[in-house]
Amino acid sequence: MMPASFDIAYALDGFFAAFFVLFSVGIVVARQMRGALFLFVLHALALTASAIVLAIALDSPHLGWVALITFSTKAIAVPLVLRWAAGRKLHERREVDHVLTITFSLLIAAVLALIAWVTIEPLVQAIPGRPFAAINLPTGLIAIFFGAFTVTVRREAMVQLMGLLVMESGAFFASISIVNDLSVIAEISAAVDVPIAAMVIGLLIRNINRVAGSTRVGHMADLKEHN
């Protein structure tokens, strides 16, 4: 790839990485279930876009397949599973409980992003010949931290599941910049594992909602104590 074209690809990857982080933050602070799910779809699209940019810039057909698989599973299949698992009543519920205030959550998210950036910098310097690692590695680690934070501060099981999936996407976002020759078996495995895991957990959450009338973690803990 010509230097000018590479600069454009590098800028585009940085652009999509910024939105990847932004949508991760949005899932942390989203007030509505529908909004959180919409942000999750956008989050998956940003990951897909980054994979496409890297596939073209690095002339890697494998990353092209990764982009297609990511789009079909994380932007389409998994959101449909989550929408089905939540059910109409839960999906349309206006408020999703937070352990912390949104302002405080944003402050902690900023600190986590800074920690991730500082932590990953030595690893970026230690990987020569991977130009996109400077963008994707810190971005991926930030998303992993944000996903873990989502699991910690959200009281709704469905959003906690999204947090786990954000962590997986963060690891994937980082890995495509340093491993761009995945085998077909690995690609198929990635295509199958995530939707199946989401379906199994989603089915469990749906059954809990039908039996207990809620998927709010605190409410389920109260039910356990009363029993």
pLDDT digits (tens, 9 = 90+) for 95-126: 566 778 888 989 999 999 999 999 998 888 88
- Total tally of structural domains belonging to the chain: 1
Sign, Cα dihedral of 191, 192, 194, 198: positive
Q: Is residue 4 packed enough to be buried (19+ CB in 10 Å), middle (13-18) or exposed (0-12)? A: exposed
pLDDT, tens digit, 9 for 90 and up, residues 175-192: 888 876 655 545 555 555
How does 149-187 read in b/e, with b if 16+ C-beta sit within 10 Å? bbbebbbbbbbbbbbbbbbbbbebbbebbbebebeeeeb
Residue type, 136: N
Please give the residue range of the domain that contains residue 14: 3-226
Helices (H), the chain: 3-29, 33-57, 61-70, 78-91, 102-125, 133-153, 157-175, 184-212, 217-226
Check residue 146 and give its pLDDT: 95
What's the distance, Cα to Cα, between the start and end of the chain in Å? 65
Model pLDDT, residue 40: 92
Chain centroid, CA 50 distance in Å: 13
Mean pLDDT of the chain: 79
Q: What percent of the chain has pLDDT over 70?
A: 71
Q: Minimal CA–CA distance to 84: which of 211, 209, 212, 213? A: 209
Q: How far is CA 226 from CA 8, 97, 133, in A?
A: 60, 22, 51
